[in-house]
Structure 1
């Protein structure tokens, strides 16, 4: 896990600015040359170094998610060029001039968060933020950040660049959103006219757009992939809740197999699973906890009385005898998702019972209009 922010200075004035930033930025570490030592460095998150700053940059790139360099832009570009790898892994890099007039987003503006860090640093110093990313300047959809604040996951970055170009070049773009949070448009102006929003594939004519943003928990058909992803990006919103009941001691392998197999049967993406829900008697079940840990899912648990408040189509006296609840997977899924019905009421497979509920959201068209 990378540390949040490193602040680096190599001049007397830069050091003064770095120390100001340290007072205002959470979880920041400061690095500057030892000849500018103030004497308090040992008691603060400040590291002194000797020699060229270029020697410590590779290590900072590995260790930090954001790097603020109080160094000239040209020098920074030359120093970081040999150590750049990929926009999905490179840290955010922000440059501040020696007098603190400008904070400039240099690298990983979107995925790395440099644009936001630039604005934050500028606010701390009273500087002017300089952001040149086209989607930010034009106040339009940032394809590589779309839905990120909600936890949406991009299925593949293969078409992110051409789709981004279509958005900023005002080509015909369709957003097909079948599920997930609809309030992703946060600018104080209408959605650009070249971007059309629909909530189903039936509303989007494949010949009516140049690029597509597809938001769904559903596994697409081969035809849908051909029509919408040839120049499109697929996003997975976190909208599925798995209600799970299992016998004591059920292995994580069996639980995982049932989950994966069932999701495939239901044509649902595992990347759209938000969390797992069960009875509180299972909150320490090793197999269930292991699966949740593997996939990064949280585990919601409910008391029998809470589960019994949910009306079930087929309450089970047997389950009640052992747990005090007339059902586990079905009511747990609905309670956690806040849903009124199931995508899958209940499926029994070996030692595992699974239900699937979808987190309800208003239609994106309702929100946009």
Structure 2
């Protein structure tokens, strides 16, 4: 049992990603029902409502003010579901708020489980999606007030998130979001990445226009821009970011061969220098690809772990199915494949040609491909 006291931070027993908290008799009924059906959730409620099966159900009981429990939950959970009045929740979480990029999603349920309300971190923190899931589990009404969700338009801070796109900086997220929800003239420039970013049944609003190049978008009057590209922008092109957000889609496949024992520092340096030469962003790298003989190469493993890239290996037979310009008998003698970096990058990306065919640098051979748009 958690004994909550002023000036202490209780040690909770976290098992899931979400915490469900109740402080009333009816709230406990809701918490137990939701906890039995909602995966990856830990249930907390006051000890005076103990039913006798809490240990079996891994419910954590507490004594004292729930306000003293919240700091520990904020530090530990991805989302917090509170069966407490909205006003009380707002007052209790106010001192805990830091940044929308780090605060957990907070959802409130009324005592009769009729309404599920997205309170905090609706987009980045995932509270809006959590609200919908909890409401569906309880057959309740989801309450979401985020403008982009209500108006069914682009959520700027989540644009392309389901594809793994990342934005370059947060500086213009708020003003660009305002332009979108206020139906100002917005241009979407997409040079690479997935095309299925509009996920509503309704058409794209007429205030949002799409263009295939930055130069083309700069030639028209607009109030805000969303730019999706793996390229580094030129000084002239960066004008579009005066009120714009730059997104990096995961579209670059790096094919690589290396000598046994090549250090991760050398591998990383070659990748960085090569991408700079091509004018590509390292944030758009999706995978590092090689032959299966190198699946235990520590330098390659360390680099992919550092950047959270896919580490993909192919058999010689798979690599030999790809036609390359200069098959190497020497490489075949040692590996059974006529090439490594080139066919590996092409296999993963599905590209018919390479942005960089092949470059030898020290102990490393590198090729670069971009997933076709």
Q: TM-score, normalising length from structure 2?
A: 0.95
| CA apart distance, 1:206 | 4.7
What is the CA deviation profile of residues 11-47 of structure 1, one whole-angstrom value per residue up to 9, with x for unaligned ones? 0000000001011211100000000011111122310
Mark the runs of 5 or more structure 1 residues left unpaired by the alignment.
Answer: 362-369
Mark the runs of 5 or more structure 2 residues left unpaired by the alignment.
Answer: 1-13
Aligned counterparts, 1:128-147, within 5 A = 128-147=141-160
What is the CA deviation profile of residues 250-307 of structure 1, one whole-angstrom value per residue up to 9, with x for unaligned ones? 0000000000110011000000000111000000001110111111111111111111
Equivalent residue of 1:230, what SS? helix
Question: Which residue does 2:60 correspond to in 1?
Answer: 47
What is the CA deviation profile of residues 109-152 of structure 1, one whole-angstrom value per residue up to 9, with x for unaligned ones? 00011001111111111111100000000000000000000000
Task: Answer yes or no: is 1:308 the counterpart of 2:320.
Answer: yes
Aligned counterparts, 1:149-298, within 5 A = 149-225=162-238, 227-298=239-310
Runs of 4+ in 1 over 3 A off after TM superposition: none
What is the CA deviation profile of residues 190-224 of structure 1, one whole-angstrom value per residue up to 9, with x for unaligned ones? 10000001111232135511000000000111111
Q: Is the 1:2–1:63 Cα contact (8 Å) retained in structure 2?
A: no
Q: Is the 1:206–1:228 Cα contact (8 Å) retained in structure 2?
A: no
Question: Which residue does 1:125 correspond to in 2?
Answer: 138
Q: Is the 1:3–1:63 Cα contact (8 Å) retained in structure 2?
A: no
Count of aligned residue pairs for this structure pair: 360
**TM-aligned CA distance change 1:2 to 1:15, over 3 Å:** closer
Equivalent residue of 1:222, what SS? coil
User: Take 1:353 and 1:173, find their aligned partners in 2: how far apart are those partners?
Assistant: 42
What is the CA deviation profile of residues 168-201 of structure 1, one whole-angstrom value per residue up to 9, with x for unaligned ones? 0010000000000001101111100000011112
What is the CA deviation profile of residues 64-92 of structure 1, one whole-angstrom value per residue up to 9, with x for unaligned ones? 00000000000000000000000000000
User: Take 1:39 and 1:211, find their aligned partners in 2: how far apart are those partners?
Assistant: 58
Q: TM-score, normalising length from structure 1?
A: 0.96
What is the CA deviation profile of residues 312-356 of structure 1, one whole-angstrom value per residue up to 9, with x for unaligned ones? 111111111111111100000000111111011111100000101
Q: Is the 1:2–1:64 Cα contact (8 Å) retained in structure 2?
A: no
Equivalent residue of 1:132, what SS? coil
| CA apart distance, 1:3 | 4.4
Q: Is the 2:74–2:103 Cα contact (8 Å) retained in structure 1?
A: yes
Cα RMSD, aligned residues only: 1.1
